[in-house]
Structure 1
Amino acid sequence: MTIPTHDDILKVDFDDVYMRSNENYNSIISRNWNEYKHHNFTDLCSYAKYDICRNSKGVSFTADCRKLVILLDNMSHILNGNHHNKIYFCIYLNYKLHELVKNYNCIVRNPIDVYRYMTEARRTWFSRTIPKTCVGYLVDLGDETFLNFRKLDQLYDNFYKFKYNKHSCSYAEYCSREYKNLLRTSSNEQNMDFHDLLYEFIYHFEKYMIGVESCKDFSQWGQPQSKTNRSAEGSTNTSAMKVTREMGGIKEIERVIEMDGTGKNILKIISERKKTLDKARLSPHTGTETTVSSGMAVLFFSVLIIVFIMYKYTAFGSYFNPRMRKLKRKMKKKDKKNMNIMGSHEWIYNNENGNKYQIQYSYMDNSS
């Protein structure tokens, strides 16, 4: 079982978290909302409201809780047998559970406990069970990480609503306005992990907007700007940012992106950035394994050098010397014993050959 680390949660491709196989989670919820088998989920969430979130008021908690339970119940359809999908889904579920308990000021604040309650209560009261697929995949999100997820969740939610309602430009307007504000804020705070996630969103949003005829005014790079607009807006349309990353040590990378020009040119710049991020995600634990291997090699040679110095130049060398002399004496004694055995064998061999010759000579003497 691969438990996601804090870095996995921050660096995950949010587009994969939010949408798999051209189906976002909201469509799954809406499609299954009125199914008869899911009416039991309302009862489950009503019990949950009383047990773990009794301070909440109204029916909103029950409705939001039911959405999560529907996602859990349809997990096999969402995951489609893909292990990476499982990690993505569980990370997203992790965030949604945090959101549920925070929004309604629940008594139980840990998403792991909420998930355990849902699975065990479902098994106790009803015949169908909620899968425990995400057991071991939930972690406690910090406040900053939770807020970043909420901002991105709202961005993607509006983006996919716009994709299904292309004439509703208010969704595109929200995305365009909000990601610019978030990009500026994250650059000021030097939060580069969140900055990378914003790049993921910008890439998908602007790529989609190039092919959309309506709502062009809400795409930053959907069409070329006129020279008049460029000169009038001046530095407002130009944003520079310095990206500082830590990769096996402090390594500074300066990148200046001018938000000016055609959509294709800007997408090319963002695509290069996205390729760098994707390469890092292809093997998320490779960097860790390489670091551990290098560390073990350095440790091994360091121990050898320390032992040599202690033996050669410190008093600890005398600790090894008696044992070395004892070993040498044993080896010499063994060699001497082997030499004696070899000498005895040679003497016996020569003596036998001499006797043979003497017998032959004595026979010849008698015959004469």
Structure 2
Amino acid sequence: MTSPRAATRPYVGRWWDTIDDGRVQCNLCPRHCRMNEGQRGFCFVRMNTGGQLILDTYGRSSGFCVDPIEKKPLNHFLPGTSVLSFGTAGCNLGCKFCQNWDISKSRETDTLADAASPGAIADTAVGAGATSVAFTYNDPVIFAEYAIDVAAACHERGVRTVAVTAGYIEAEPRPEFFAAMDAVNVDLKGFTEEFYRTVTGAELEVVKDTLRHLATTDTWLEITTLLIPGRNDSDAEIAAMCEWVVSELGPDVPHHFSAFHPDHRMRDVERTPELTLRRALQHARDAGERYAYTGNIHDKDGDTTYCAGCQSPLIVRDWYRMVDFHVTPDGTCPICGAAVPGVFDPAGPGDFGPRRIPLRIAPR
């Protein structure tokens, strides 16, 4: 089996035009960066070279690691299995609270640790026993061409693919990018345009459009919201967000509320109190979200998947370790027979546990 393209450089990207003044305009995300010769876009990895848009990080990564799928976080997608995770460099958002800023804000693309073709990544996943490959650490939207090619190579080998993304992508490339993914976790970073504009440098409505699109596809969708004290954690904002999720996406989309810790340009903000996450959990349940979770804290209730019909605990977790699993092979509750939404292996859950295994891939 061969990969769709070799990881050759320079790689000419897609979704761009040459405009009247000779600049190159990138059409991948709503920023529509316009670049003179030698200039890079906001994401820093898409650039004008010789009048063409070049993706400078095609075939290069900031590192590879085998993780539990629950770390993405995905709680309803092949529970207990392992995922080969990797990212590149750069980002098309400017989040002041970024907790992977050393990767997403990197301007040192020539120091990326590993180089690998799509086929090499897929082969490594198979060799490591990983059920899926995750595009994560920085936003895969900005290396969409590379991610799509890796996904094709993975699917040839029976390996599934996961995107962890902020969902900041234009309407034209959106369907093709997400069609390459078996599961997606979208960071819904807040629920006001002011928060998005002042804290992330992006637009909320674009992310809403991405979520609406995903809700109409077969790609499994989960959402994560990092709650930041005094920024996006008010009762009114959380309640409005949860009500929108239920009305626009449906009650079965899992929603993870995660704790912030001081980082990047928001080191003066306190950690998220556990009470805030439990309050968000209650808002989600009150709004009708059937599968709400807490993250970055040790919270048994917030880690557990409950049956929407009889409230029996179906999947009990301790951090990233599965303690109990009671979903039937046909994806239902064994007590009341209610369907449990998600992607479950009829053979049962995996047993990878909370391990983290760094890997290196030899370039080829």
TM norm structure 2 = 0.30
Instruction: Decide which structure has the larger Cα Rg and report it.
Output: 1
Which structure has more relative contact order (CA 8 Å, sep 6+)? It is 2
Greater percentage in strand: 2
TM norm structure 1 = 0.30
Greater percentage in helix: 1
